[in-house]
Amino acid sequence: MQNSIQIGRLFGIPIQLHFTFLLVIPLFTWLIGSQIGISLSFIFELFGEFNPALILAYPYLFGFLVTIGLFLGVLVHELAHSLVALRKGVRIYSITLLILGGVSSIEERIPDPRVELPMALAGPLTSLALGILCWIVVAAGVAFLPPTPLAGALFYTVGYLAVLNLMLFAFNLLPAFPMDGGRVLRAWLAKKMPLRRATKIAADVGKAFAILFALFGVLAFNPILIIIAFFIYIGAGQESTVLRYQILLKDLTVGQVMNSPVMTVPPDLPLPRLIELMYTTKHLGFPVVDRGAIVGMVALADVQKSTPVDREALLVKDVMTREVITLPPEAPLIDAFRLMSGRQIGHIPVVENGEIRGIVTRTDIVRVMELQEI
Ligand code: ZN
């Protein structure tokens, strides 16, 4: 993921910290430290009273310890997803910790409920187990250990983590994408119906939850709920769109869809001539070829960056994009689609053995999807 630093590897999986995570550590430390009295009386209520001297003396130190403990809990949760995925033969690229928890970057493939169900359940169940374990430690400690300040500090930190891990468990089991519960629901539905219908239903349930969250957030003046609602709504929509593309473009290669032969332009073609060519051919992007080799791509967007007056004097090589992304004919079409969406480009030249074979455009892909849907 972009804007992340790698801090190490666990089980061969790179572990990364997103910059939002680094912002959230001082924020959580401050939130917990400044409200230490409230959390302390809540934990007293759950487990019985213990010696709070050390905690009240260093509230921000314990705010920091609880924050670190929370993110260790998130990391273990994500690792649980990843380890089940690895055992099922799915590739894991990385785990990133960021503002609202963790994200595992998992190989994209059409979901199989037999893989997705255990993978999605592994995270929340691990959080549940961690929560129960912390709970037992504190309950036993309060009952059997002498009430020293040090023991009190341990009970507060671990008791807080018991509550947080149980919240992670419950929150992630909400039946809404991008939460684990959305995947559990989809996998369960997919055993009874086609995957696309299962995804559609799961996404609709997610959207309904998002709307409920937002309403509740507005009524309770709770901005965090509104932000969460927003993420759920977007996540639900994305999940069904991505799946639709994956299914429609399955088994197709770039070579099957590309336009060939492809019209190219030389680097020293004047821009007015290029614009004329766009008018006559109705093509809005051309590979720029110099002595048989691709040296750039020029598209309408590149022309638009110059003013109409400048255009009279400019050549193709002055405005073209020099870093050309190309694909071989045998590349899956979904790769072309991902590259276009990720980098905001509309044309990808298809190159084999250094020679240009054709060009694939976003319009071509959209047309193929429409045809696949009949
Ligand atoms: Zn999870």
Spacing, Cα 349 to ligand 1 middle (Å): 39
Gap between the Cα atoms of 59 and 53, Å rounded: 10
Residue 137 has pLDDT above 90, yes or no: yes
pLDDT above 70 for 102: no
CATH numbers and ranges of domains, the chain: 1-173 (no CATH), 176-248 (no CATH), 254-372 (3.10.580.10)
* C-alpha of residue 78 to centroid of ligand 1, in Å: 6
pLDDT of amino acid 106: 64
Kindly state the percentage of the chain with pLDDT values over 70: 93
More confident residue, 68 or 113: 68
Structure tokens at 83: 């380890």
Q: Which residue did the predictor score with more confidence, 132 or 322?
A: 132
Which residue did the predictor score with more confidence, 297 or 94?
A: 297
* 68 burial via Cβ count (<10 Å: 0-12, 13-18, 19+): middle
| Alpha carbon of 179 to ligand 1 centroid (Å) | 7
Give 307's DSSP letter: -
Q: How far apart are CA 5 and CA 360, in angstroms?
A: 34
Residue 132: per-residue pLDDT: 96
Instruction: Output the DSSP codes for 224-245.
Output: HHHHHHHHHHHHHHHHHHHHHH
Most confident of 113-122, 272-281, 337-346: 272-281
**Ligand 1 center–CA 103 separation, angstroms:** 8
Q: Which two tokens stand for residue 295?
A: 């040296």
CA 208 to chain centre: 21
Please check whether residue 327 is in contact with residue 254, taking contact to mean a CB–CB distance below 8 angstroms: yes
pLDDT digits (tens, 9 = 90+) for 150-191: 888 899 999 999 999 999 898 888 887 777 888 888 888 888
Q: Which residues surround ligand 1, an ion (CB under 5 A)?
A: 123, 172, 180
From residue 282, alpha-carbon distances to 97, 209, 263, 299, 319 in Å are 46, 45, 12, 12, 20
Least confident of 59-63, 110-114, 156-160, 315-319: 110-114
Cβ–Cβ < 8 Å for 199, 179: no
pLDDT at 11: 84
pLDDT tens digits along 241-298? 777 777 777 778 888 888 878 888 999 999 889 999 999 988 888 889 888 888 888 9
The CA 183 to ligand 1 mean position distance, Å, reads 10
Catalytic residue status for 78: yes
Cα(129) to centroid(ligand 1), Å:
14
Name the pLDDT band for 134 (thresholds 50, 70, 90).
very high
In this structure, the dihedral spanned by the alpha carbons of residues 317, 318, 320 and 322, taken in order and rounded to 10 degrees, is: 80
Give DSSP secondary structure letters for 138-200: HHHHHHHS---HHHHHHHHHHHHHHHHHHHHHHHHTSSSTTSHHHHHHHHHHHTTS-HHHHHH
Stated pTM of the model: 0.67
Q: What stretch of H or E contains 269?
A: none
Q: Which of 51 and 251 is assigned the larger pLDDT?
A: 51
Beta strands 355-361 and 13-18: pairing type? unpaired
User: Does pLDDT of 14 surpass 60?
Assistant: yes
Query: Which residue has 């209520």 as its token pair?
Result: 45
C-alpha angle 76-80-82 in degrees, rounded to nearest 5? 115
- Please give the C-alpha separations between residue 372 and each of 194, 201, 218, 367, 369, in angstroms, as whole numbers: 17, 22, 42, 9, 5
**Which residue in the list 78, 108, 323, 330 is annotated as catalytic?**
78
Mean pLDDT is highest, among 136-140, 209-213, 323-327, for: 136-140
Packed helices 149-172 and 113-144: angle between N→C axes, nearest 10 degrees: 160
- Measured at the CA of 233, the angle between CA 333 and CA 237, to 5 degrees, comes to 20
- Write the burial class of residue 325 (CB in 10 Å: 0-12 exposed, 13-18 middle, 19+ buried): middle
Please tell me the predicted confidence (pLDDT) of residue 158. 93
- Report how far apart the first and last C-alpha atoms of the chain are (Å, whole number): 36
Candidates 72, 67, 70; CA nearest to 10 is 72
- Cα(188) to ligand 1 centroid in Å equals 17
Distance of CA 172 from the midpoint of ligand 1 (Å): 6
Q: What is the mean pLDDT of the chain?
A: 84
- Backbone φ/ψ region at 323: left (φ over 0), alpha (ψ -120 to 50), beta: beta
Q: Which amino acid is at 326?
A: T
- What is the number of alpha carbons within 13 Å of residue 304 lying toward its C-beta? 6
Residue 117, token pair as written in the block: 């169900």
